[in-house]
Amino acid sequence: MHEKIKKRGRKPKETPEGRKREILEIVDKNCDPVSILNRENIHKKGLFHKIIHVFLFNENGEIYLQKKSPLVDENPGLWTSSASGHVLAGEGVLISAQRELKEELSIKVKLKKVLKLTPSDETNMQCISLFVGYTKKIPKPNPLEIEEGRFFAIEEVENLLQTDPEIFSPTFRFLWKKYWENVSQKSQPEK
């Protein structure tokens, strides 16, 4: 008799259909939960919901950025944060950030929340929590979500934002600006 061995943990959200069915919290303008609904309908109706972004730095102070796969539904083919994603219903933002970092880059690091932004045009009407982390490891991008990724010097990101801003997701451009405006160097991860 052969029994199937069940794997523990969350099932991967690898298919576009699976992502549409994810259950998320609808939140108010202060990011407080008011209800739940699947991701597809939240997006169709333009309802506020929570997402996380992670800026992952290496020992040289470079930031890892990913270029989204052309197959994803949000920002296909654009460069964006090291990792990002939706916060599932009942999930804390730190747990969500750790999960997305693991799913997208196969990395686990200590993360520090550095910004919380309420819904606005600049945040695409989402409540965003931005985390920062530090690694000595080389991320392994998930090919189902990421076309490519690499570490960029801060100056290189700044130059590209000046010369070719359209290669970056609008949310990343906004978060990058807010990060450097509002976060002191003390918030940089300790090496």
Cα(152)–Cα(169) distance, integer angstroms: 16
- Residue 53: band (very low, low, confident or very high) from pLDDT cuts 50, 70, 90: very high
Cα(56)–Cα(53) distance, integer angstroms: 10
Q: What is the pLDDT at residue 184?
A: 53
Q: Are 121 and 170 in contact (CB under 8 A)?
A: no
Return the HEC string of 128-180: EEEEEEECCCCCCCCCCCEEEEEEECHHHHHHHHHHCHHHECHHHHHHHHHHH
Q: What percent of the chain clears pLDDT 70, i.e. is strictly above it?
A: 85
Which residues make Cβ contacts (< 8 Å) with residue 60, sequence separation at least 6? 151, 153
Q: Which of 25, 188, 3 is nearest to 119 (CA)?
A: 25
Query: pLDDT of 133-144, one tens digit each?
Result: 999 999 999 999
Q: What is the pTM of this model?
A: 0.86
Query: pLDDT of 34-52, one tens digit each?
Result: 999 999 999 899 999 999 9
Cα(173)–Cα(116) distance, integer angstroms: 16
Q: What is the pLDDT at residue 20?
A: 67
Across the range 13-18, mean pLDDT stands at 56
The secondary structure of residue 88, as a DSSP letter, is: B
Query: pLDDT of 154-165, one tens digit each?
Result: 999 999 999 999
pLDDT of 172 higher than 90? yes
Q: Are 27 and 46 in contact (CB under 8 A)?
A: no
Strands 127-134 and 50-57, bridge-based pairing: parallel
- Residue 152: band (very low, low, confident or very high) from pLDDT cuts 50, 70, 90: very high
For the chain, which domains are there?
19-187 (3.90.79.10)
pLDDT of 78 higher than 60? yes
Q: What is the pLDDT at residue 178?
A: 95
In the Cβ-directed half-sphere of 176, how many Cα atoms lie within 13 Å? Answer: 23
- Residue 73: band (very low, low, confident or very high) from pLDDT cuts 50, 70, 90: confident
